[in-house]
Amino acid sequence: MTHPVVRAALLAALSLPPLAAASDLDGVLERLRAEIAAVPVDDPAPIDTVLARYRDETGIDLQIPVAGDSDAPLPALVRPANITPADWDAVTRYLRGTDAQHSVPVEMGELSLSLLDLDGDGQRDLVQSAYSGGTGLYTQVDMLRRDPQRGFVVPDSLDPQRPWAQGQYGLSGRGSDQGLYWLRIDGVSYIAYRDGDYYGDTLLLNRPLSEDPRERSPTTRLKVRYGREHRLADPVMHVDGEPLDASATAIAADRRLLRHIERLLAALTVDGDGVAHFGDEQGRCPVPAGTDPGETDLWPWRGAGSYTFDTAADTVIRSGKQCYSATLIALRSSYAGDHALCCQLWLYRGPGEQAAALDLRSRRWVSGVTVVAVPPQGE
């Protein structure tokens, strides 16, 4: 006979909901945390590797041509063979009823739609993506719930500071490192949003069309920290094959300087907050003769930053009588390309006077994956 205490424990265990039950967002987040932490250290994109295992392949994609002219009629729409008449009726009703081709900002003449069941009610919902361009090269993504009577509708407002709680996302193609993923885990649909930089990635998991507000606006997310390693690439030319200019060529010929830089890079560390440190961070170079009086107090000499890169660390590099302000920079988003070619070391011999941009060969690995709180304003 089973002991009463053991029997009670067994019954309690059997009554627990499965890991990916619709209300168990925290359980799924913990599963992803453990899997990302277990990815081999030589994997350059551990989040993508793990999320690829759960990619939702049930969606049906549509490309709707649209005209920029506000008076242009909706183009003729022909139902694709892979879409049921009921789903197609809902799509055309939405396009005609909301005038989506004119109300959604679109620069490239095309509205991208996807049909997939996001709330688990057995009916396909709608994902609408539109490239709106602008300085940030933005893409706007909206998720609309399928209502039997009203068709595709915008979810009820939950928190204006967290548009993703209503299934609204903005992705920047310039000056960002972001990704949006449609996942299906144990038959349940999830949306994952990744936002990253040199120091790490955050991953927010939610179900924007769920009836449970806790799943639409979660209070926790994953924080993935990376270890970093850098070394000088071939100093004779840039990694893209472009030759160095005269100033950079002179620096590339200074073998003592290059050896000093290699030693500094080899000693680079990333602290618990994900901030990189190397070399003499507190020192500074003498102000060169002839410097504009208004710039004598500027340090580091790299000047203002840019949305195209992160400034990961600053230091001083000396070679003989020459002193350089050095900045380790990490190119962002489409500017980064291959993770191995993410970074450069910029040397300045005076305020705003760049002497060289030395290409680096880089490696990164996961140094920690933790569950952290979502900031109060969803930032």
Each residue's pLDDT tens digit, 67-125 = 655 566 667 778 888 999 999 988 888 887 765 544 555 555 677 899 999 999 999 99
Share of the chain above pLDDT 90, in %: 41
Q: Buried (b) or exposed (e) across 162-187, using 16+ Cβ within 10 A?
A: bbbbbbebebbebbbbbbbbbbbbee
Each residue's pLDDT tens digit, 332-347 = 765 555 778 889 999 9
Q: What is the pLDDT of residue 8?
A: 37
Q: What is the pLDDT of residue 332?
A: 78
Q: Which amino acid is at 305?
A: G
Q: What is the pLDDT of residue 136?
A: 66
3-state SS, the chain, equals: CCCHHHHHHHHHHHCCCCCCCCCCHHHHHHHHHHHHHCCCCCCCCHHHHHHHCCECCCCEEEEEECCCCCCCCCCCCCCCCCCCHHHHHHHHHHHHHHCHHHHCCCCCCEEEEEEECCCCCCCCEEEEEEEEECCCCEEEEEEEEEECCCEEECCCCCCCCCHHHHCEEEEECCCCCEEEEEEEECCEEEEEEEEECCCEEEEEEECCCCCCHHHHCCCEEEEEEEEEEEEECCCCECCCCCECCHHHHHHHCCHHHHHHHHHHHHCCEECCCCCEECCECCCCCCCCCCCCHHHCCCCCCCCCCECCEEEEEEEEEEECCEEEEEEEEEECHHHCCCHHHCEEEEEEEECCEEEEEEEEEEEEEEEEEEEEECCCCCC
Q: Per-residue pLDDT for 7 more than 60?
A: no
